[in-house]
Amino acid sequence: MKSALIVIDVQKSFTQQPFWSEEDLPAFREKQLALISGYKARGLPVVQIFHHSKGAFDPANGLCVSLDWLPDYADVSFNKHVHNALTDSGLLQWLHDNEIEHVSVSGIRTEQCCETTARVASDLGFKVDFVSEATLTWAMTHPDGSTLSAAEIKHRTELVLAGRFARIATVAQSLAGLDERTAT
């Protein structure tokens, strides 16, 4: 089973958002880089996705580029204008053309573009690893005034995806799964 890593929206646009915080960034950076490195070491494709829309996500402002710490790693890049990385970017056709059957999802934001991509990928027949430790999000306030922490949002995302849309995996588990698929 051929696999690809999808790295979603790890772009400077987010640094301009009022919710941007670097509190969880070091752990995310470490896990994201380990996942990319693991895929590259196995000779598997790594896909970079950029979100394009209004404001900080408008490509004309120069912020729709990788965060500074992200190396030049992508085998292919796509731009999207919706939350999921598959339906309007060209990625779906590329996955089919390259006979990819399994994807690992990582990037920014856990509960938005990453979760949506995992759901759509599953619905389209892909096997999905959701590598939540290689995703990043921030606290959010509900309309009722209650606030969920980034950790609570990740926990909720894992709950709703697990066993239905994706296998929830650590970086180590996702990479071990690649080795198991290659061995069979």
The per-residue pLDDT for 179 is 86
Which residue's structure tokens are 């790890």?
Answer: 10
Per-residue pLDDT tens digits for 101-136: 999 999 999 999 999 999 999 999 999 999 999 999
Cα 3 to Cα 152: distance, rounded to the nearest angstrom: 29
Residue type at 124?
L
**Total number of domains constituting the chain:** 1
pLDDT for res 97: 98
Instruction: List the CATH number of the domain containing 153.
Output: 3.40.50.850
User: Looking at residue 63, what is its pLDDT?
Assistant: 97
pLDDT < 70: residue spans in the chain = 183-184
With a threshold of 0.95, does the pTM exceed it? yes
User: SS3 of 4, please?
Assistant: strand
Q: Give the whole-angstrom CA distance, residue 160 versus residue 19.
A: 24
Query: Please, are residues 58 and 89 in contact by the beta-carbon 8 Å criterion?
Result: no
CA separation, residue 108 to residues 8, 125, 136 (Å): 6, 23, 5
Longest CA pairwise span in the chain (Å): 50
- State the Rg of the chain over Cα: 16
Give the range of the structural domain holding residue 98, as residue numbers without chain letter: 2-183
